[in-house]
Amino acid sequence: MPATTRLGVEQLNDPRRPSDFAFGSFHLGDGVGWMVVLALLTAVPPVFLIVLLYQYFVEVPYLDQWWLLPVIAAQKEGTLSFGLLWHQNAEHRLFVPKVIMVGLAALTNWNLWYEVAVNFLLTAVTFGILAYHVCRFAKLMRVRSALWLMPVVSLVLFSPAPFENWLWSWQMPYYLIAFCVTLLGVVVVRFPNSPASWGIAFLCAMVASFSFATGFAVWLAGMVLSHVIASKSRRTIVSFAWGGGLVLAIALYLVGYEFLSWTDPVSALARGYHFAGYCAVYLGAAVVPTGYIMPAALLGVGKILFFILFYVWSRNQSLRVRLAVAPFLCLVAFAIGAAAVTAAGRSNIHPLIQAMSPRYITFSQLGWLGVLFLLVAVGRERQRFPILRPVLGLIACLLIIDFLAMSVHGLLGMKWFSSEMRKGKAALICGGTDDQIRKLYVQPAQLRSEFLPLLYKHKLSFARKLKGRSEQESLGQFERRNGDMSTETK
């Protein structure tokens, strides 16, 4: 096969600028000292996050996480079935996360710290995948300084801004999906003509779909990716194959599915303006503190417009540029898809402020990270309009500053969330009121009658520390502390 038909080799071997494409040419200064500085700056966010998790994580199940307890108990009792793993949680199929979490619980007696560790590890691997492509981006775009965005990638992925997800280990689906969409984009771009790479992409999309309903947005990201990098002769084939995969995922998802009136997507779409507003706020929430609905909505609309402009611009670029920017377009497309899927399930029953929930920031941030790199790419290539480069550079700098500000805002949220969790756990163990226990679960009566007896019976989570007591002693202590709580608030 001629070199000019594969992976943009004609660009990579351009004799006019040979040094621009050699990794050895990326001298960040006059010595290795700059590489050390870059590595240290990149390491700060994950190290700082580890310190925060050690300080603020509270080991106690929270809200929907209690629903996993009967599944873990079934595994302990030898009655675990496929149906328990397949059973939906609200509108979600959490099959893949359930398998992981039940497996961890079997090995650790549901030590929630191990779930936190898996979430952190997934993020670290996601960072590694993105870091690899940042190096390729710097080569392909001939922008050596792009390597200095590596600490920004680290800041976004390890930011405490989505503090709910970090302190609530049940949120593993968010980190699984972020890993899947990142791997999909980078692998396909690295080997665009390989059927194996699209096979990996298909597997990533299926894992994401059966981790959380929002995972279906990965299919949109894959479709955008195929239209950006696939040749005209292959684009139709890839699009039909990818669409067929989506139909298969939906068909499997609906096996045994129970439609819930409060998550009705038809009702959500019928409220057109509210649906659109919810999507916009969701997309802008990652760069605006909670409560500022209008600025978030305006920024969300801006993200959508940026995506459209970037997509049109990329289609007219050389293969070299398209390979560089495709994974970042993939991230922006995914964030938009995630906003639409979430709005379909939530906007019909929630006000716009709910779209600013910190848990959603994980996906929205990925989209803004994609916007940042696309700004760099456009600024590098737009030579006909010199004024455009400083304008785009200013926007990129403001975005980086905002990432830092939102991390500080997330730190404050971590302190508050941890405090609420500690109060709820204390009330649960020491016999608090229903209002206090609602910090952990909305139905205290069900918590007392169904979940807590299972927790103490199998000595799971915080109850596993009662090593010197028998099952009867543990349950007796629980009943003495909580026995009269069901009548206290009547």
75-93: pLDDT as tens digits? 999 999 999 999 998 889 9
Q: Against a cut of 0.85, is the pTM above it?
A: yes
Q: Where are the domains of the chain?
A: 43-421
Q: What is the DSSP secondary-structure string of 282-293?
A: HHHGGGS-TT-H
**Cα torsion 86, 92, 98, 100: sign:** positive
For 219, the 3-state DSSP assignment is helix
Q: How far is it, in rounded angstroms, from Cα 181 to Cα 157?
A: 14
For 75, the 3-state DSSP assignment is helix
Which helix (H) or strand (E) segment holds residue 365: the answer is helix 361-381
- The closest alpha carbon to 146, from 303, 315, 28, belongs to 28
The pLDDT of 166-183, averaged and rounded, is 96
CA trace torsion 345, 406, 151, 54 (10° rounding)? -90
Tell me which of 268 and 474 has the higher pLDDT: 268
Percent of the chain's residues with pLDDT above 90: 62
Please state the φ and ψ torsions of residue 92, each to the nearest 5 degrees. -95, 145
What is the tens place of the pLDDT at every residue in 285-294? 999 988 899 9
The pLDDT of 117-141, averaged and rounded, is 95
Beta-sheet strands, E only, within 304-379: none
Q: How many CA atoms lie within 13 A of 317 on its CB side?
A: 27
Write down the pLDDT at residue 237: 85
**Cα torsion 182, 277, 375, 286: sign:** negative
Write down the pLDDT at residue 382: 61
CA trace torsion 191, 183, 125, 68 (10° rounding)? -150
Is the per-residue pLDDT at 33 higher than 80? no
The pLDDT of 366-382, averaged and rounded, is 88
Write down the pLDDT at residue 469: 47
Write down the pLDDT at residue 277: 95
Write down the pLDDT at residue 18: 34
Tell me which of 336 and 435 has the higher pLDDT: 336
Q: Which residue has the tokens 């792009």?
A: 146
> In which band, very low, low, confident or very high, does the pLDDT at 464 lie, cut at 50, 70 and 90?
confident
Cα-based distances in Å from 80 to 68, 75, 99, 151: 12, 5, 11, 44
The pLDDT of 260-283, averaged and rounded, is 87
Write down the pLDDT at residue 4: 36
Q: How far is it, in rounded angstroms, from Cα 63 to Cα 443?
A: 9
Write down the pLDDT at residue 264: 78
Write down the pLDDT at residue 384: 59
Percent of the chain's residues with pLDDT above 70: 87
Both tokens of 235, joined, read: 């684009």
